[in-house]
Amino acid sequence: MKFIVYNVRDDEIPFIEKWGKDHGIEVKYTTTTLNQETVEEAAGFDGVSCLQTIPYSAELFESFKKMGIKYLSLRNVGVDNIDLPAAKENGVRITNVPAYSPESIAEFAVMMSLYLSRKVGYMRQQLDQKHQFHFSPNFMGRLMSEQTVGVLGTGRIGRAAIKLFKGLGASVIAYDKYPQKTTDESFVYVKSLDDLYNQSDIISIHMPATEANYHQFNHEVFEQMKDTALLINTARGSIVDTDDLMYALQSGEIAGAGIDTIENESADLQDSRSTKQVTNPDVLKLSMMPNVLITPHSAFHTSEAVKNMIDISLGNLEMMMSGKIPADLVD
């Protein structure tokens, strides 16, 4: 039994080496992204662990079948970038890690909300341009306790975010196609998405990407939102129409945005050793706006999360190789 781990970051290496030693299993790791050109590195291995947001194509799973590889274990939650029918057709089982550290992403969403609510971007811009501070109307922020936070998606991450926002005194409303049976009185479900858009001072997205919610946040939705509202996306880039978001920010349809994930993320973004300059024009434009905080898909990135992602991903491979069915099997 031996496994290969793709797209490895430097901070994952100690956890990978420890897991292999503790379980007596050979585990090789590589920093390369898994694609049709690099899949040959997996020759001779029984299972693959991977973390990336770029596509896993049908051709890739055809290569898996030719190489006799039956297991792909993700170190992340989302599977929207996987050709699942092709995986099934080629006899490849997929697992993910649905709960590596909900608190890590929830804390990041709250951090972004506080950064934007207290106008830190405007302060930084003034310091960078003038190398001095003076009192400005642009610096006046809002207390979290003065705001209504709309949480879109009440799974593990959404509920962790609700707990933190509630702890800061915010009023919390939420929407989910599949609502929880009880809210413990910590938040209230609204009847419709329109209610969430209209009532929220901050909207924090915590739902998986699907075909149905592709570009759910578009020009029509931004027009519905308050012109003082903030949008926080630590979920998936495809949920937000980037062009419409930039227009909304520049025209004043909404007041600001925290963007940890954006459409069409490149492999370089997730390469911890990459020294390439950012060239994505959308990222560059957003990074220059004082009412935007944009980060490189890092909301998950804490020591607890990294350890859990490695342990659960490799553990799922071991279970499948042993003939067991992991709870994290993607159907």
Name the residues annotated as catalytic. 236, 265, 297
What is the rounded (10 degree) CA torsion for 195, 300, 210, 175? Answer: -20
Query: Which amino acid belongs to residue 251?
Result: S
Of 217, 200, 199, 113, which Cα lies nearest the Cα of 149? 200
Other Cβ atoms within 10 Å of 43 Cβ, number: 12
- How far apart CA 254 and CA 291 sit, in angstroms, is 10
Cβ burial, residue 120 (10 Å; 0-12/13-18/19+): middle
Grouping H, G, I as helix, E, B as strand and the rest as coil, residue 57 is coil
Other Cβ atoms within 10 Å of 92 Cβ, number: 22
47-50/71-74 β-pairing: parallel
